[in-house]
């Protein structure tokens, strides 16, 4: 199935900027439980794109695992965000630049999963399974483009995951599954008329329910993007960038 992407005419407005994971991290002058928790959540989000970048650089699976774990272990230990505070940079850009420096300066013999004290920021088998089931067209994409694409897809996975939890909690799991398939936009896929028949609903009711589904999807997408920028003015640019990446 094709990945669900923001639809043409996507309107990212309508949700106020709130304190986010990245703004909490940047605002913390010293370590704090809230900043530590926010930083670890962000690391989990960016594990797949960082790992994909390292793999595209020609590393083996094992080396890429060690390098990625070592990179995030160092990030969590050093917390060197002074340059980002001055420039109000986006997390996406900051991490890619930091990773490139890390790969240049870090000798492979010094890499070990022990640097992360045995803690896995994201289960390795989850990353490997994703790589096998959704291989990147390595002959067409540079490491940077793979990083961007994996970042965009990971954001959408998190959005759909949150939306699915809401629908299942409300007892509407089957409706969510249908709407998710509809959102993917497969030419021969499901239609609103088919959903109405399958779920014994009025077609107009399905139309209204899908409108609410898309509206909530947009809200959650904006929230996820907001968590990775330091200022509200950056949200729109990141959303446009995400859509451009997915359309490539």
Question: 2 pLDDT band (50/70/90 cuts)?
Answer: very low
Instruction: Indicate the Cα dihedral angle 42, 223, 145, 114, nearest 10°.
Output: 10
Q: For residue 16, what pLDDT is reported?
A: 37
Does residue 16 lie within any of the structural domains? no
- pLDDT(115) > 70: no
Q: What are the CA-CA distances from residue 137 to residues 38, 134, 143, 202, 246 (Å)?
A: 32, 9, 11, 42, 14
pLDDT digits (tens, 9 = 90+) for 5-21: 454 333 434 333 344 56
Q: For residue 22, what pLDDT is reported?
A: 66
Cα dihedral sign, 231-221-40-168: positive
- Mean pLDDT over each residue of the chain, to the nearest integer: 76
Does residue 10 lie within any of the structural domains? no
Nearest-angstrom CA–CA distance, 61 and 66: 9
pLDDT digits (tens, 9 = 90+) for 191-221: 999 999 999 999 999 999 999 999 999 999 9
pLDDT digits (tens, 9 = 90+) for 48-62: 899 999 988 888 888
Nearest-angstrom CA–CA distance, 228 and 244: 17
- pLDDT(143) > 50: yes
The three-state secondary structure class of 91 is helix
pLDDT digits (tens, 9 = 90+) for 62-102: 888 888 888 888 877 776 665 555 445 577 888 888 888 88
Contacts of 130 by beta carbon, 8 Å cutoff, 6+ apart:
48
**42-71 residues labelled b (16+ CB within 10 A) or e (exposed):** bbebbbbbbbbbbbbbebeeeebbbbbbbb
Q: For residue 220, what pLDDT is reported?
A: 94
> Residue 130 belongs to what domain range?
21-247
Q: Give the HSE-up count for residue 178: Cα atoms under 13 Å, Cβ half-sphere.
A: 19
Question: 1 pLDDT band (50/70/90 cuts)?
Answer: very low
Domains contained in the chain, number: 1
Q: What are the CA-CA distances from residue 39 to residues 8, 21, 46, 124 (Å)?
A: 32, 7, 11, 19
Does residue 222 lie within any of the structural domains? yes
Does residue 220 lie within any of the structural domains? yes
Q: What are the CA-CA distances from residue 50 to residues 17, 94, 146 (Å)?
A: 27, 12, 9
Q: For residue 31, what pLDDT is reported?
A: 67
Does residue 5 lie within any of the structural domains? no
Q: For residue 62, what pLDDT is reported?
A: 87
Q: Tell me the average pLDDT across 14-40.
A: 60
Q: For residue 132, what pLDDT is reported?
A: 45
Q: What is the pTM of this model?
A: 0.68
Q: For residue 113, what pLDDT is reported?
A: 43
Nearest-angstrom CA–CA distance, 100 and 104: 6
Helix, strand, coil percentages, rounded to 5, for the chain: 70, 0, 30
Does residue 61 lie within any of the structural domains? yes
Does residue 8 lie within any of the structural domains? no
Nearest-angstrom CA–CA distance, 82 and 90: 13
Does residue 237 lie within any of the structural domains? yes
Q: For residue 5, what pLDDT is reported?
A: 47
């Amino acid at each position: 199935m094709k990945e669900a992407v923001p639809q043409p005419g996507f309107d990212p407005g309508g949700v106020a900027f709130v304190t986010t994971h990245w703004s909490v991290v940047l605002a913390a002058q010293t370590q704090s439980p809230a900043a530590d928790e926010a930083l670890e959540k962000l690391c989990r989000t960016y594990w797949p794109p960082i790992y994909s970048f390292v793999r595209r650089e020609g590393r083996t699976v094992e080396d890429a695992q060690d390098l990625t774990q070592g990179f995030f272990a160092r990030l969590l230990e050093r917390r060197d965000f002074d340059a980002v505070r001055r420039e109000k940079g986006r997390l996406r850009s900051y991490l890619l630049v930091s990773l490139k420096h890390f790969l240049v300066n870090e000798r492979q013999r010094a890499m070990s999963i022990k640097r992360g004290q045995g803690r896995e920021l994201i289960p390795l088998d989850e990353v490997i399974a994703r790589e096998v089931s959704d291989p990147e067209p390595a002959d067409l994409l540079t490491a940077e483009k793979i990083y961007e694409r994996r970042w965009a897809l990971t954001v959408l996975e998190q959005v759909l995951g949150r939306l699915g939890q809401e629908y299942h909690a409300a007892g509407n799991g089957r409706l969510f599954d249908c709407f998710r398939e509809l959102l993917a936009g497969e030419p021969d896929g499901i239609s609103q008329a088919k959903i109405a028949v399958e779920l014994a609903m009025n077609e107009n009711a399905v139309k209204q329910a899908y409108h609410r589904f898309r509206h909530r999807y947009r809200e959650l997408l904006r929230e996820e993007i907001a968590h990775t920028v330091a200022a509200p003015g950056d949200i729109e640019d990141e959303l446009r960038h995400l859509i451009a990446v997915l359309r490539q």
